[in-house]
Chain A
C-alpha cells in the first residue's frame, strides 16, 4: 500500500490488506465517502449542484455503515438471491437473442454497444421497474456518475451534468414510487414503496438506493460481458477449452472477474487514526481498496497475470465483488446475465475473431474497467 498524492488517498493493493479494510467498517467507513469527494468542488460549482449534495448525503446501500446499512440491506436483500432471480433467465435469453439477431446481420458486431450495454439496461429495468419509455436515460446517468467519481478532478461541466441527471431521476423515481402504492407490481420499486409506506425507509433513502441499483446494475455487467468476450477472443486456447467443455463457463466468468475486475477499486474513509500494515492512517483519510490489484496478488493467486479458465476458486475467492458487508448485492444477477449472454453469443459465433487492426481502448477512469468498443467479425 502507498499514499498517492495524485489520487489524494491510500491505495491498498495486496489481497490480505484489501480484505482487512473491507471487513472492518468500524475503522474504514463507507458513510460520507462521496460527500468528501463532492466537497472538493469549487464553491461556485458546489452552489450549482445542490441535488448532488443532497443525493449523496442520504444513506443508501453503498454510502452507509451499520445500522443504516443493515436496515437497507435487509430490506432489499431478498430481491436479489440466486434462487429469486432465476426467474429472469428466460427474459435475459430472449433479450440476448433479439440483440444478436439484429446485430449479427452486419459484417462487424460491436459487442459493447450492440449487446453488452443494452442487455443489462433492459434486465435491470425489468427487475427494478423502470418503464421502457425511460430506459434510454439509464446509460446517461450511469456515465455521468462514472465520470464524476472516476476522475480525480471532475470538471464543472461533469458536475453540473451529473446534478441535472440526478434531479431528473429523483423526479422520475418519486413518481414511480407513488404509482406503485396504487398499482403494485412484481418489481423492486414496489418493494421499496411498501417499505417506505411502512416506515422502514425514508422516501429519499428509497430513491437513492433504487438509483444506486439502476446504475450499479448495468455498467458493471456491460464491462464484465465485454471483458469475458475480449479475454476469450485474445486467448484462443482458452476459448477452445470452453467450447469443448461448456460447463467451464461459470469458472470462466469467475476468472474474468478476477483477471479484469469491472469495478477496479472501492473507497472508504478512515473513521479514526489507525494503522494498516504498520503504517499510520489519519482520521478522515481516503482509503482505496484496489480490487483489481488484490485479484492479481501473487501471494494469493499463483501465476496471477495468466488468464486461465481452469483456475480453481473453491478455496481462494477473488475480490471483484468486494468483501464484507458491502459484498455486491447484485452478484447473482451479474453472473446469470453474463452466463446467458456469453453462451448465446458463442452459440452464434463459436470462433470469436476480433476485427482486424483492433486495439483495445479502455475507459480511462478508475471506477470502470471496460472496453469502449469490441468489434468482432460475424462471418463463421
Chain B
C-alpha cells in the first residue's frame, strides 16, 4: 500500500451519553476500549466492511445509544 492510505468513509463518534457499560468493547473488542474514566473511545479507525458491520452492532448494542457512525466529509 502506498503512503496515502485511502481511509474508510465512516468515522466512529462516542457522545457524552456514554456510561461505560462496555457493550461496545464486548461486541467489537478491537474497535472500542474504555479509557481511564471508564468511557468508551474508538481504539482505531474503521478499515473495511467487516469493521463497519461490527461497529454497527456495537452502536446498536449501546444502552444509552451513545455511538454514532458518521460519514466522512
Contact = CB atoms under 8 A, between A and B. Distances in A.
Interface string B14-43: 000101110100110100000000100000
Contacts of B20: 81-82
Nearest to B65: A70
Interface in A68-88: 70, 73-74, 77-78, 81-83
A66 B60 CA distance: 10
B17 A74 contact: yes
B47 interface: no
Contact of A78 (B19, B23, B29, B38): B19
Interface string B39-73: 00000000000000000010011111100000000
Interface string A1-41: 00000000000000000010001111000000000000000
A1 to B, nearest CB: 19
A24 B38 contact: no
A324 B38 contact: no
Contacts of A324: 23, 27, 60-61, 63
Contacts of B29: 315
B63 A26 contact: no
A66 B64 CA distance: 9
A74 B23 CA distance: 15
Interface residues of A, number: 22
B38 A327 contact: no
A324 B60 CA distance: 8
Given A81-B20, A82-B38, A323 B63 contact: no
A78 B29 CA distance: 24
A66 B27 CA distance: 19
Contacts of A326: 63
B65 A25 contact: no
A344 to B, nearest CB: 26
Contacts of A327: 21, 23, 63
Contacts of B62: 325
A325 B17 contact: no
Contacts of B26: 317, 323
A291 to B, nearest CB: 14
Contacts of A78: 19
Contact of B65 (A23, A66, A323, A329): A66
Closest 9 CB pairs of A and B: A324-B61, A23-B61, A77-B19, A70-B65, A325-B63, A73-B63, A74-B64, A327-B21, A317-B26
Given A23-B61, A77-B63, 10 more contacts: A26-B60, A66-B65, A73-B64, A74-B17, A81-B19, A82-B38, A317-B26, A324-B23, A325-B65, A327-B21
